[in-house]
Amino acid sequence: MAIATVSKTAPDARSGRLRLAELTSSVGALVLGIGLGALLGKVLGGFGLPLLMAGALVHAWGLFDKHRLEQRAGAPDVRWHVVTYWACSLLLALIALGVAGRLTAVF
């Protein structure tokens, strides 16, 4: 909801600084997750696959929801944004195929 509100009240704020802040936050979350995985690898080893699946589902929902809210708010389609949206969706699908292949090898 906040994305739509920001886009309606200040369309120029969505480009530039706000997008950089979103990107910085996302990269920080990624690095944090990698760091936690490295520190807790042995402890959480058995939970790797469920955590991967949960993270992928939450990330996919966030991507879809953000894209939907921005379209509703009339935010302009920026080429790199569309490309990264579909590239990330493709990577998530490849991860899902890899996980499915790994699961079928186990069973």
**90 vs 100: CA distance, rounded Å:** 15
Q: What is the mean pLDDT of the chain?
A: 77
pLDDT digits (tens, 9 = 90+) for 39-74: 888 887 788 778 788 888 888 888 888 888 888 888
Q: Are 104 and 58 in contact (CB under 8 A)?
A: no
Domain ranges of the chain: 2-106
Whether the predicted pLDDT of 10 surpasses 80: no
Closest to 33 in 3D by CA, of 13, 16, 56: 56
Specify the pLDDT at position 5: 46
**48 vs 56: CA distance, rounded Å:** 12
Residues in contact with 61: Cβ distance below 8 Å, sequence separation at least 6, in sequence order: none
Can you state the angle between helices 79-106 and 48-72, rounded to 10 degrees?
150
Indicate the pTM of the whole model. Answer: 0.58
pLDDT digits (tens, 9 = 90+) for 11-46: 555 567 767 777 888 888 888 888 888 888 888 778
Model confidence band, residue 1 (pLDDT cutoffs 50, 70, 90):
very low
